[in-house]
Amino acid sequence: AQSVTQLDSHVSVSEGTPVLLRCNYSSSYSPSLFWYVQHPNKGLQLLLKYTSAATLVKGINGFEAEFKKSETSFHLTKPSAHMSDAAEYFCVVRDTNFGNEKLTFGTGTRLTIIP
Amino acid sequence: DTGVSQNPRHKITKRGQNVTFRCDPISEHNRLYWYRQTLGQGPEFLTYFQNEAQLEKSRLLSDRFSAERPKGSFSTLEIQRTEQGDSAMYLCASSLSDYYGYTFGSGTRLTVV
- Point out the least confidently predicted range of A16-25, A33-42, A102-111: A33-42
pLDDT attached to residue A84: 96
Q: Could you give the C-alpha distances from B82 to A61, B26, B68, B77, B110, in angstroms and in order?
A: 40, 29, 18, 13, 10
Of B72 and B67, the structure prediction assigns the larger pLDDT to B67
Q: Which of A4, A5, A44, A57 to mutate to test the interface with B (most CBs of B within 10 A)?
A: A44
Assess whether pLDDT exceeds 60 at residue B1.
no
Q: Is the dihedral of CA B53, A25, A45, B85 positive or negative?
A: positive
Which residues in chain A have Cβ-Cβ distances shorter than 8 Å to B56? 99-102
pLDDT attached to residue B71: 86
Residue B51's DSSP bridge partners are: none
User: What is the tens place of the pLDDT at every residue in B11-65?
Assistant: 999 999 999 999 999 998 999 999 999 988 999 999 999 999 999 899 888 899 9
Kindly report the backbone phi and psi dihedral angles of residue B85, in degrees, each rounded to the nearest multiple of 5, phi listed first: -65, -10
pLDDT attached to residue A115: 95
pLDDT attached to residue A82: 97
Indicate yes or no: CB of A103 within 8 angstroms of CB of B104: no
CB B67 within 8 A of CB B54: yes
Region A23-33: what's the mean pLDDT?
Answer: 91
Q: Cα(B94)–Cα(B104) distance, rounded to whole angstroms?
A: 7
Q: How confident is the model at residue A64 (pLDDT cuts 50, 70, 90)?
A: very high
Q: How is residue A30 annotated by DSSP?
A: P
Q: Cα(B59)–Cα(B57) distance, rounded to whole angstroms?
A: 7
User: What is the tens place of the pLDDT at every residue in A73-111?
Assistant: 999 999 999 999 999 999 999 988 877 889 999 999 999
Helix count and strand count (H, E) for chain B: 0, 11
Indicate yes or no: CB of B107 within 8 angstroms of CB of A106: no
Identity of the residue in A43, A96, A101 whose CB atom sits nearest the CB atom of B48: A101
Q: Which long-range contacts (CB under 8 A, 24 or more apart) does B52-61 make?
A: B55/A99, B55/A101, B56/A99, B56/A100, B56/A101, B56/A102, B58/A102, B60/B36
